[in-house]
Amino acid sequence: MAGVDTVLECDILGTTSGSSVLLAMELADYLRDQAVMYRKLAEQADDPVVKHEMLELASVCEEIANNIEDHLTGG
C-alpha cells in the first residue's frame, strides 16, 4: 500500500517520486541547518529559559531530519 500512498502524494503535490525524494532530502538538510542556528542562539543566550528553548528547538529539528532520512532509507 506504500506505493499507492507515494503515487497519491505525488499527484497531490504535483511531483514525481524522484523529486519528492529530493524535496525530502532538502527539507532534512534545512532542518539540520536550523538546528545549528538554534544551537548558536543558545550559546549566545544569557537567559537560561531561552537557552533551554533554543536547545529544545534544535533537538526537534534534528529528530525530524533523522525521521525523514530514516523514512527515505526504509529504516
Please state the pTM of the whole predicted model: 0.72
Long-range contacts of 23-29 (CB under 8 A, 24+ apart): 24/68, 24/71, 24/72, 25/68, 25/69, 25/72, 27/65, 27/68, 28/64, 28/65, 28/68, 28/69, 29/65
Span 7-46, pLDDT tens digits: 445 454 555 556 778 888 999 999 999 999 999 999 999 9
Predicted local distance difference test score (pLDDT) of residue 71:
87
Span 54-68, pLDDT tens digits: 999 999 999 999 999
Helices (H), the chain: 2-13, 17-44, 48-73
